[in-house]
């Protein structure tokens, strides 16, 4: 499909066009958005929001095959107080672009949705609408079954008889008047908003499983570290014992060396004394022999 043909049609059909949350203080609320791929190409989408810490999206990215649909769920975290007049200024941005045939979620990168990437990016902004929960009638247990309080029911019947028409509770919020209409101020506000990548949502059970796995891994790592520490301590003791043994052997070797040096020195001194004592005797003998020989020659 050519780029011009893609630009002439909507890549994704988004239903509904706004995110409606039933707001209750200190309670989470969720809503779903359905994305339909109207093209004959693989389409990648990415969800961004102006308040990433306030909302969780699952999945926040994905690939939609031709003529297929994909739902993503947005969960608003529990809030401590309601905003003024139940007006929420948070916005969501859905980006979509055509990707090569056979692409998967692992192939999705942030560069795909960059405006300077040269790819045709379709962006759709969604508003956040807050509604209050519908009023519930007073229920009382009668014979094990919850039934409406008779006094409340009687009061409603009186109101009906008195007015002649059935009382219909007013709608919680009338949005059809403004649905799909964005004034110039709203458009300027949307342009000025900085959208941030939304974060995926994890349910409580998944968090518990992850927590248990982390605790098990930490306990295992602690035991491994303890074993390694004991092994290191044992190796250190062996090394200290070996060092002490080698030091003792060296001391003995030095003592033996000093003893051998001393004995060698004594032998050397004794040899010199013997040489000095034996030399005069030999000299006397030689002189005596020479004298005898001379005396013999003179008598001849």
Q: Tell me the pLDDT tens digit for each residue of 27-54.
A: 999 999 999 998 899 999 999 999 999 9
DSSP count for the chain of H helices, then E strands: 4, 12
pLDDT digits (tens, 9 = 90+) for 55-92: 999 999 999 999 999 999 999 999 999 999 899 999 99
- Give the total residue count for the chain: 300
Average pLDDT in the 229-254 region?
A: 90
Using a 10 angstrom Cβ sphere, with 0-12 exposed, 13-18 middle and 19 or more buried, the burial of residue 224 is exposed
pLDDT at 119 over 90: no
Q: Full-prediction pTM beyond 0.85? A: no
Report residue 88: phi and psi, to 5°: -115, 130
pLDDT at 299 over 60: yes
3-class SS of residue 91: strand
CB 193 within 8 A of CB 92: no
Rg of the chain's alpha carbons, rounded to an integer? 50
As a whole number of angstroms, the distance between CA 300 and CA 108 comes to: 136
As a whole number of angstroms, the distance between CA 20 and CA 23 comes to: 9
């Amino acid at each position: 499909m050519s780029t011009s043909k893609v630009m002439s049609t909507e890549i994704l059909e988004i239903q509904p066009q706004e995110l409606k949350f039933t707001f209750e203080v200190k309670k989470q609320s969720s809503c779903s958005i359905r994305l339909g791929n109207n093209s004959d190409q693989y389409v990648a989408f990415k969800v961004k929001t102006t308040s990433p810490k306030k909302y969780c999206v699952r999945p926040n990215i994905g690939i939609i095959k031709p003529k297929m649909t994909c739902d993503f769920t947005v969960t608003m975290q529990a809030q401590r107080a309601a905003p003024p007049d139940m007006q929420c200024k948070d916005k969501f941005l859905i980006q979509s672009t055509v990707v090569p045939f056979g692409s998967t979620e692992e192939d999705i990168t942030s560069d795909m949705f960059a405006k300077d990437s040269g790819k045709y990016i379709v962006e759709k902004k969604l508003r956040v609408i807050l509604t209050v929960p519908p009023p519930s009638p007073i229920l009382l247990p009668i014979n094990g079954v919850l039934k409406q309080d008779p006094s409340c029911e009687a009061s409603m019947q009186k109101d009906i008889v008195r007015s002649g028409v059935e009382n219909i509770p007013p709608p919680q919020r009338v949005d059809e008047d403004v649905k799909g209409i964005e004034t110039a101020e709203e458009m300027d506000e949307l342009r000025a908003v900085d959208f941030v990548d939304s974060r995926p949502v994890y349910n409580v059970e998944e968090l518990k499983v992850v927590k248990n796995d982390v605790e098990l891994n930490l306990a295992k790592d602690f035991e491994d570290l303890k074993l390694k520490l004991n092994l290191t301590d044992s190796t250190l003791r062996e090394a200290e014992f070996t060092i002490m043994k080698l030091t003792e052997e060296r001391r003995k070797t030095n003592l033996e060396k000093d003893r051998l040096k001393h004995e060698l020195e004594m032998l050397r001194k004794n040899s010199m004394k013997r040489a000095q004592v034996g030399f005069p005797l030999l000299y006397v003998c030689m002189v005596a022999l020479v004298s005898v020989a001379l005396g013999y020659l003179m008598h001849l």
